[in-house]
Amino acid sequence: MGNKAFTYDSFFRNMIGNFIFRVVLNSVPDGVSLLDTQLRIIDLNFTMQQWYKHKMPARGKKCFWVFHGRKKPCPNCPSLRAIEEKGVITEVVSYDGLEFRKEKAQKIYAFPLFDGNREVVGVLEYVKNLIPVRELEEEVLLLRKKVSYLEHQNEMLRSLLEEKKEEERRRKVFFEKQLKECILPTLKELEALAKNTPEARYFSFLSFWLANLYSGSYPESRQKLSLLTPRELEIALLIKEGRSSKEISEILSISKKAVQFHRQNLRKKLGIAGSQINLVTYLRNII
């Protein structure tokens, strides 16, 4: 091909006019530029047009001026090397474009284009923007600081949790000691002193409840006691002692009918209504 100028070269006219070529060119997310052997821009894909929109239109202009603002080819230009060596050249080049405030780096793949006589008539440049190593190092350093901070916070939380567990353990040991050595013996003494009096049953019930409260042992049957009202608890304790409805009515100064009503409610709340389970025996097993 005698004249290789971009305006008259049928090789480039065919490439630019090819619809499939245009679709493929513009579907590439990275930059693609088509240059002639004089490094004049023949065509740019959509990505390159967006990157260098401040230099558009660029067709016919030198690539080193449009892309780098230079008046002469860049040192170690991969496209010139691809033309000279007739092979694919890959190069990472620094870039300080007018649009970008920070220095950028680009990885350029330069592919020489041949005519039917195996003569180089142009270059296809594939351009990929790279994050500078310095920015990557700064980002890694920042992430490491964040990880270190989170690890430190996690260690502090773990330490606080262990301290809280130890404090709870010491508190439980202290309460157990006070309960076993002071509270329960005192209640037993009070219960003995109040023997054969209405108050005795309250000391008995209180001892039972405190012992279970500490141990955390609550069989389902015992948990149902928490559903009872204070009056129902009084009647339950009297029933446990084997008191009749008449005796209970006299002790609590309520009617016998009221006692029977509370008995029915007790069976319902304790889950034994409609069964043949003896209420006295059941209460003696759970209180």
88 in any annotated domain: yes
Cα–Cα distance, 50 to 43 (Å, whole number): 13
pLDDT at 215 (0 to 100): 58
Cα–Cα distance, 44 to 25 (Å, whole number): 8
240 in any annotated domain: no
* 3 has pLDDT over 50: no
Tell me which of 73 and 215 has the higher pLDDT: 73
For 102, the domain range is 10-130
CATH number at residue 25: 3.30.450.20
pLDDT at 50 (0 to 100): 84
Cα–Cα distance, 205 to 202 (Å, whole number): 5
pLDDT at 178 (0 to 100): 85
63 in any annotated domain: yes
User: Total structural domains in the chain?
Assistant: 1
Name the percent of the chain lying above pLDDT 70.
Answer: 80
pLDDT at 107 (0 to 100): 83
pLDDT at 99 (0 to 100): 45
DSSP sequence for 73-121: PPTT-HHHHHHHHTS-EEEEEEE--SS-SS-EEEEEEEEEEE-TTS-EE
20 in any annotated domain: yes
162 in any annotated domain: no
Would you put residue 118 in left (φ > 0), alpha (ψ -120 to 50) or beta? left
| Of 66-70, 105-109, 114-118, 201-205, minimum mean pLDDT range | 201-205
How many CA atoms, within 13 angstroms, populate the side-chain half-sphere of residue 27? 6
State the residue for tokens 């040192």: 75
pLDDT at 256 (0 to 100): 92
2 in any annotated domain: no
Residue-wise pLDDT tens digits, 129-164? 776 556 777 788 888 988 988 888 889 989 999 999
pLDDT band at 20 (very low <50, low <70, confident <90, very high): low
* 248 has pLDDT over 70: yes
286 in any annotated domain: no
Per-residue tokens: 11: 């090789």
258 in any annotated domain: no
Cα–Cα nearest to 30, from 127, 131, 130: 127
Mean pLDDT, the chain, rounded, equals 80
Segment 179-192 shows an average pLDDT of 83
Residue-wise pLDDT tens digits, 35-59? 988 999 888 888 888 888 888 888 8
The maximal CA–CA distance of the chain, rounded, in angstroms, is 130
* 168 has pLDDT over 60: yes
